Amino acid sequence: MNNKKRVLAHIRNSAIIRNPLLFEAVGLCPVVAIATSLKSAALLALLTALEMIICEVFASLFLKNVRRYIRVALYFLLGIAVIFPIMAITKRFIPSLTVDFGVYLPLMAVNSLIALHCERIAVKRKVKNSFIDAVSASFSYGLTAIATGFLRELFGNGTIGGHEINIPVKFSALLLPFGGLLILGFLAAVLKAFIAKAYPDMSPDYSFDTSEVRRSLRGSLRELMNDDFNPYGEESDIIPEGAVYIKKHAPKHAKKIRMTNEDTIKITDDMVKAIKEADENQNDTDGKKSRKKLKHKKINRKKEKSVQKNLTPTVDETVLSMPDSEMPQDSGERTYLDDFSDMLSELEDYKNRVSADADGSADKDADRASEGTDVGGEEE
């Protein structure tokens, strides 16, 4: 019974909460380009399902101990092995479809959806689980593609499955790639509204992490090359409970900015190192080390005394409150502490803005309420 429930939960997660097309934004290219009619969308769904099931089962059976860079190439080879015979068959028996699909049919061999599911699930789980995942993900992918194809054909071409339907206006531009994206966007909104109603404790937002987007593009190419790269969330060396970690290790700062556990803030291993360094400074009760460092960095005596008084510097004191002129300048490069402090100050700004907005809206409501009573009074 438990197994059955688990399987159902997995299907629900894979098909609805983490819908690959609508929330994870993977495998968009074929749908946007090919799914312009019900027939082509159905064929696309079928091909994707076939490719996905074969690849995931194969990966789960044979590729668990294969190195990652070889696995990626093997997914491509498997894709070719599935797609190319179908290309040959369709060219011979349904040549019109080959024309419709054009260059996109061979491109399906490099479907990001398949690589993602193989890496995230197939190479880590048993064959049965991989098969269930492949079926549920390809089902949701196919269903979304078919819905997109249906709507594009109906409103773009005025037909359903090739049969003429009398609709007053045709939006033929929907057959272009942007039409596909537009319909997918609205379908995603509808599904999100449904999830909010049917599964209020679940959010599809977790499948597309945008926490990094507020950070600016900065740093040297070397630094960027050393950044963690995890675009599909298949492997992660990021500590997800960032807010909890900060509350534990920098409690004063967390309290100051009223940090809650729900605040989406991510800390990498390097950030942890930075926090630990800050903690070590905090525990430096005799203050000799910090004084020596400050002397070494040519900080004047007055400021040195003020630092000496605060012998238990917290993360915000050491990193955030220190003016730029007093920041260590010897290396001339940004450190992880800088990143960490930027991240915290961004979060603080955001919190302030949110509270200001809330205050503003409360004031507006109060104004409106008072206006309402005034008007009411006048009417009376």
Partner 1 sequence: MSWFLQLVSASFYVMLIQNLIFSGGYGISEAVRMSAKPRQLLPLALFIAYFSTTVSVACALLDLIPFVNALGELAHAGIFSAVLLLIYLITMTAVLIYGKIKPRTIRRIGIAAFNTLVLAVPFINYRSAFTVYEAVGSGLGAGAAFVIAVLLISEGLKRLDMNRSVPACFKGTPSLLIYTAILSMAFAGLAGQTATM
Binders of partner 1 among residues 120 to 179 (CB under 8 A) are: 156-157, 172-179
Binds partner 1 by CB under 8 A, chosen from 227, 269, 280, 363: 227
Is residue 228 a contact residue for partner 1 (CB under 8 A)?
Answer: yes
Q: Between residues 139 and 171, which has the closer beta carbon with respect to partner 1?
A: 171
In angstroms, what is the minimal distance from the CB of 168 to partner 1? 17
Q: Between residues 131 and 350, which has the closer beta carbon with respect to partner 1?
A: 350
In angstroms, what is the minimal distance from the CB of 317 to partner 1? 28
Residue 88's CB is within 10 A of a number of other CB atoms, namely 11
In angstroms, what is the minimal distance from the CB of 325 to partner 1? 28
What tokens were used for 210? 């945008």
Exposure letters 242-253 (e unless 16+ CB within 10 A, then b): bbbbbbebbeeb
Q: Between residues 110 and 135, which has the closer beta carbon with respect to partner 1?
A: 110
CA 32, CA 179: separation in Å to the nearest integer?
8
Residues 262 to 301: which contact partner 1 by CB under 8 A?
none
Q: Between residues 41 and 182, which has the closer beta carbon with respect to partner 1?
A: 182
3-state class of 28 per DSSP? helix
In angstroms, what is the minimal distance from the CB of 374 to partner 1? 27
Q: Among 259, 217, 219, 263, which Cα is nearest to 240's?
A: 263
Residues 330 to 359: which contact partner 1 by CB under 8 A?
357
**Contact status, residue 133 vs residue 14, Cβ threshold 8 Å:** yes
Binds partner 1 by CB under 8 A, chosen from 64, 84, 269, 359: 84
Give, as one character, the DSSP assignment of residue 214.
G
Amino acid letter, 235? E
Residue reference for tokens 């939006």: 171
Residues 85 to 124: which contact partner 1 by CB under 8 A?
87-88, 91, 103-104, 106-107, 109-110, 112-113, 115
Q: Between residues 205 and 280, which has the closer beta carbon with respect to partner 1?
A: 205
Is residue 26 a contact residue for partner 1 (CB under 8 A)?
Answer: yes
CA 88, CA 111: separation in Å to the nearest integer?
19
Angle made by CA atoms 27, 233, 22, in degrees to the nearest 5: 35
Is residue 241 a contact residue for partner 1 (CB under 8 A)?
Answer: no
Is residue 52 a contact residue for partner 1 (CB under 8 A)?
Answer: no
Stretch in the footprint of partner 1 (CB under 8 A) among 41-49, 207-215, 249-257, 275-283: 207-215
Residues 27 to 46: which contact partner 1 by CB under 8 A?
27-29, 32-33
Is residue 76 a contact residue for partner 1 (CB under 8 A)?
Answer: yes
Cα-trace Rg, the chain:
28
Residues 184 to 203: which contact partner 1 by CB under 8 A?
184-186, 188-190, 192-193, 196
**Contact status, residue 77 vs residue 113, Cβ threshold 8 Å:** no
Binders of partner 1: how many residues, by CB under 8 A?
77
Give, as one character, the DSSP assignment of residue 150.
H
In angstroms, what is the minimal distance from the CB of 249 to partner 1? 24
3-state class of 265 per DSSP? coil
CA 242, CA 266: separation in Å to the nearest integer?
5
In angstroms, what is the minimal distance from the CB of 46 to partner 1? 19
CA 336, CA 268: separation in Å to the nearest integer?
10
**Contact status, residue 33 vs residue 202, Cβ threshold 8 Å:** no
Q: Among 243, 24, 218, which Cα is nearest to 121's?
A: 24
In angstroms, what is the minimal distance from the CB of 330 to partner 1? 25
